[in-house]
Amino acid sequence: MGKIIGIDLGTTNCCVAFVDNGQPQVIPNAEGSRTTPSVVSFAKDGERRVGNVAKRQGVTHPESTVFAIKRLMGLAFESKNAQKHARLAPYRVVKSDRGDAWVQIGEKLYSPPEISAMVLEKMREVAESYLGEDITEAIITVPAYFNDAQRSATIAAGKIAGLEVRRIINEPTAAALAYGFEEKEGQRVAVYDLGGGTFDISILEIASGVFSVKSTSGDTHLGGEDIDNALVEELARRFKESTGIDLRDDRVALQRLKEQAEKAKHELSSSLETEINLPFIASDETGPKHLEATLKRSELEILVSEIIDQTLGPCEQALTDAGIKREELDEILLVGGQTRMPMVQSKVADFFGKQPHRGVNPDEVVAMGAALQGAALAGEVEEVLLLDVTPLSLGVETGGGVFHKLIIRNTTVPTRAREIFTTSVDNQSFVPIHVLQGEREMAEDNKSLAKFELAPILPAPRGVPEVEVTFDINADGVVNVHAKDLGTGREQDIRVVVSSGLTEEDIKRIIEEAETYKTTDEKRRVLAELRNAAQALLYTSERAVEECRELVAEEVIVQVEADIEALHQSIDDGDAIAIKDGLETLELSAYKIAEAMYGNVEFDAPAKGEVQSDS
């Protein structure tokens, strides 16, 4: 069995890890960084880039550079969060045929799982080139608070990237796994995870390889990006006040400002004051305008204190749901880059009444936990048992648009619930069922997962037909629904009208498209390599002709010159096969020059220490 890697698919950055000799290790990317920006950029010719290069392009081509796609995973376009993201993102967010929030680059539309798949593919490549083997299986982490649509979208992304997603695990659970893997004593741990775009809090009990999540809570749209945005708003407001120019109307300026705001935020985690300089950020009739500002840590803290406070409600909720008092917790683990901010650390310490644990790297611990789970599944390390919970209640819509819960939030998964449905009108030919996830009382306020029509039902008076519907939540937190007609005992085929997300056909089509991309990319690479080799050979052959023209037979020179010209032509035509042929032909004819010069002797490279003489 090959390695099962662990991928932390973050809003801002991604991290990939594997287990070596029982120890989780982060895999650095080709540039040597241990995390890779979750950024995809598209060039005019359709070529796409992922990671640091893409992030750099974001400054000059903001409209074709996609950041923070995780924030759109599994979201309907009309949802509040998608609208908020669309307003602030420098790229276009549009409505797909099925009502989901998609991204438009040039003429082409991309679903969020497609973009995430590009990031996952990059992480797979990072792992493959480091480990020197093909990788086909992964554990991918998601925020504990992701709903079914968001989890399904993540699994779809994995599939599109050619990865079999062996398990989806929750980020805080993964972090706890990395922290407590070798811990034998029983411990109660809170994992506070504030990343780029999401916030999660989970309370766990850890004992001898069993990681039992007691409760989880959070907000899938709260994170470091909100802090960046608050800072951008503030800097843009100050700039408008002094120049009258609104930088928010200019996508390129806005992107530059966003970059600087994030950088300033990072600096203020270790220093008390920082400078922000953006020369030539705008201009008007009086000439170019520069943004120069000094920002104090205290100013940033006043600006974003409320955002951080929003994480405390879910912390309270998680403790209540777990039935655990703050003082009963043994450790508080901080996860996610945003927890590097001193104010986050102090608010967490105040809330829980103890200093958080400092022994884990908040950027890497999630991927390491995922890798451990992968290694456990592959039998490389001791088995671990992750008993996770569903973060949101699952239920159906009943009369009057009321939400009837079948599985209550914080129930350990996998879990199952059954319900008998019937008709409300005589001779009704089908039973409509609307499956939802959430905590609100009315159906319309919750996330719609799917609508089913159980059909056909035999004609009967109302209330007589009995259809048993089983709702399953698997260990990945993904919902499945089965139906059985109790009258006939027949398992019914249910027609699923997916409320949103990608269908199996969509995924298949995207994979095929990705394959085409792969083929074109591969062709491009081969052509570039052939060109390089051809140019190197042309260079040496041209020099050989120049230097040996008088010393070898004329027909040899004439042949080499003809082959040189033909190879130049093939390079200009960009024809890989012709370049390869031309390369081989020229190699043979150019050898003849060498043969004529050195006689028919075979020659090797000079041995070490030997001196090559020109004469």
**What residues make contact with ligand AMP under the rule CB under 6 A?**
10-13, 195-196, 224-225, 262, 265-266, 269, 336-338, 340-341, 363
- d(CA 91, CA 54) in angstroms, rounded, equals 13
Nearer to ligand AMP by Cβ, of 11 and 500: the residue is: 11
From 100, 114, 148, 171, active-site residue: 171
Give, in order, the Cα–Cα distances in Å from 129 to each of 9, 28, 48, 301, 484: 19, 10, 19, 42, 49
At closest approach, how far in Å is the CB of 334 from ligand AMP? 10
Give, in order, the Cα–Cα distances in Å from 414 to each of 74, 252, 448, 449: 21, 47, 21, 18
Residue with tokens 């929003």: 310
Nearer to ligand AMP by Cβ, of 367 and 394: the residue is: 367
Nearer to ligand AMP by Cβ, of 34 and 266: the residue is: 266
Nearer to ligand AMP by Cβ, of 172 and 477: the residue is: 172
- The order of strands in the sheet holding 40-42 is 48-50, 40-42, 65-66
At closest approach, how far in Å is the CB of 264 from ligand AMP? 10
Closest CA to 142 of 71, 203, 90, 210: 71
Strand-strand pairing, 13-20 and 23-26 = antiparallel
Could you confirm whether 193 is annotated as catalytic?
Answer: yes
Neighbours of 324 (CB within 10 A): 17
The token pair at 467 is 């259809």
Phi, psi of 234 (to 5 degrees): -65, -45
At closest approach, how far in Å is the CB of 12 from ligand AMP? 4
Are 576 and 526 a contacting pair, CB within 8 Å? yes
Closest CA to 83 of 73, 93, 74: 93
Nearer to ligand AMP by Cβ, of 341 and 386: the residue is: 341
At closest approach, how far in Å is the CB of 363 from ligand AMP? 6
Closest CA to 167 of 428, 476, 455: 476
Nearer to ligand AMP by Cβ, of 195 and 395: the residue is: 195
Nearer to ligand AMP by Cβ, of 88 and 593: the residue is: 88
- d(CA 545, CA 594) in angstroms, rounded, equals 10
Neighbours of 8 (CB within 10 A): 32
Nearer to ligand AMP by Cβ, of 83 and 269: the residue is: 269
- d(CA 222, CA 398) in angstroms, rounded, equals 32
From 8, 226, 397, 563, active-site residue: 8
Residues 6+ apart with CB under 8 A from 369: 6, 24, 141, 169, 173, 174, 175, 176, 177, 178, 179, 181
At closest approach, how far in Å is the CB of 151 from ligand AMP? 18
At closest approach, how far in Å is the CB of 127 from ligand AMP? 18
Neighbours of 133 (CB within 10 A): 11
Peptide bond into 456 cis (omega under 30): yes
From 121, 193, 200, 388, active-site residue: 193
Could you confirm whether 8 is annotated as catalytic?
Answer: yes
Nearer to ligand AMP by Cβ, of 216 and 338: the residue is: 338
- d(CA 266, CA 257) in angstroms, rounded, equals 14
Would you state the torsion angle of the CA atoms of residues 366, 370, 376, 377, taken in this order, to the nearest 10 degrees? 160
Residues 6+ apart with CB under 8 A from 12: 37, 38, 67, 68, 195, 196, 197, 224, 225, 337
At closest approach, how far in Å is the CB of 225 from ligand AMP? 6
At closest approach, how far in Å is the CB of 404 from ligand AMP? 36
Peptide bond into 342 cis (omega under 30): no
From 3, 55, 70, 214, active-site residue: 70
Nearer to ligand AMP by Cβ, of 99 and 342: the residue is: 342
Residue sitting closest to ligand AMP (CB): 224
Residue with tokens 């995780």: 70
Looking at this protein, which amino acid is placed at residue 446? N
Catalytic residues: 8, 70, 171, 193
